[in-house]
Structure 1
Amino acid sequence: MKINALLFASVGLISSSFAASTLNLRNFSGVSVGLPIVNSEGAAVAVNSFHANAGYFNTTINWSTATAEIIKSAFVGIDTSPINGGTRSGLFTGQTFNGTLPAGFAGSQAYVVIANNADFSLATHFAVVAANVAFTGPDGFGNSAQTLDALSAANVVFGTVRQVTTQPDNLANAAFVSGVEMITAVPEPSIALLGALGVFGLVRRRR
């Protein structure tokens, strides 16, 4: 009995000492399944000109009036070294975190945040995608593994969704339909509507 107890205790120590959480981010899973990062003309942005990180927001955000400053102050990133675009323009995939899951993450709504600067405190443009899942808590051994997808235009909560006009580089047969542009703020629909009505009024008045 003592030998068995000692064996189980040793296994527990070994397991806990190697316990880790890993997290992979991606905004594409195939040549036509994904959401590339694009510019205002719909062209996939250059390699290494954007970065992606996963995390949660420590307060409820009204995305219709959100700004870059609000996002930076409320976003809690899981990694201090977000992944870059790799070798394909507009696309990212890879491991962004490997360690012990920080307090506050397990069970929290997961978001993927794309920024125009590796240092989030210096970033000025963002796109935010709700992953529609919660961060996975560790199992009985302290391990967890998760992939967060930013694949759907329907899940974009901050950013401008555009038709892709120029497909990402280095991806044969790419056929992405929609992409997301990083922005500084989301214009309120009422303001946009008033502007449109104003232009319409001016045109009508000239006639």
Structure 2
Amino acid sequence: MKKADIFDFFSRLAEANPAPVTELEYGNPYQLLVAVTLSAQATDVGVNKATRALFREVETPQQMVDLGEEGLKAHIKTIGLFNTKAKNVIGLSEILVRDFGGEVPEDRDTLTTLPGVGRKTANVVVNTAFGQETFAVDTHIFRVGNRTGLAPGKTVLAVEQQLDKKVPGPFRRDAHHWLILHGRYVCKARKPECWRCIVADLCRFKPKTPAPKIATAKAA
């Protein structure tokens, strides 16, 4: 995708959704970290259902440690891989209490040293909680980056590096939110809804998916 087209691409997404936010529900940076950690291989909807009651009870790492692994499992047992995730969340909470005064560090590399926290999770946290210009590449962004020609790459890291290189200044902070939402609701995996896509003319994907035919009622 050409430089001018990339600017137009994000301009349109920004005009349609001027203030994009994550669909995960949270009240502070620690709860965001927990929610994103739980969201691996799970939907935001499923995570939110599990964390609503949890986050009414737990707002800090110390409260999570006090809840304990079994107590946490009781809240998140509807989420895939909940046993491993519970162990990781308790582990990272213990480290935050012990080494960081109960605060979530604002440094991506430091975050990735915590149990269960990979680069994508760390990128989400430092971007959403602390306003840093990072690009958290999930399956939606990986697909959109490659399909549209915006940020082609064979690996998640390659797509992230392309985005970091190509996304213009005004759009850098919110870019990954726009791309996730676009991939989730328009540029879908199995059948992209090109007929209602506001950036379809800038996209390199061919052939474009046509609008579904409207069924007509049979004559009586």
Question: 1 or 2 for the larger relative contact order (CA 8 Å, sep ≥6)?
Answer: 1
Name which one, 1 or 2, has greater alpha-carbon Rg.
1
Q: TM-score, normalised to structure 1's length?
A: 0.26
Which structure dedicates a bigger proportion of its chain to strand?
1
Which structure dedicates a bigger proportion of its chain to helix?
2
Q: TM-score, normalised to structure 2's length?
A: 0.25
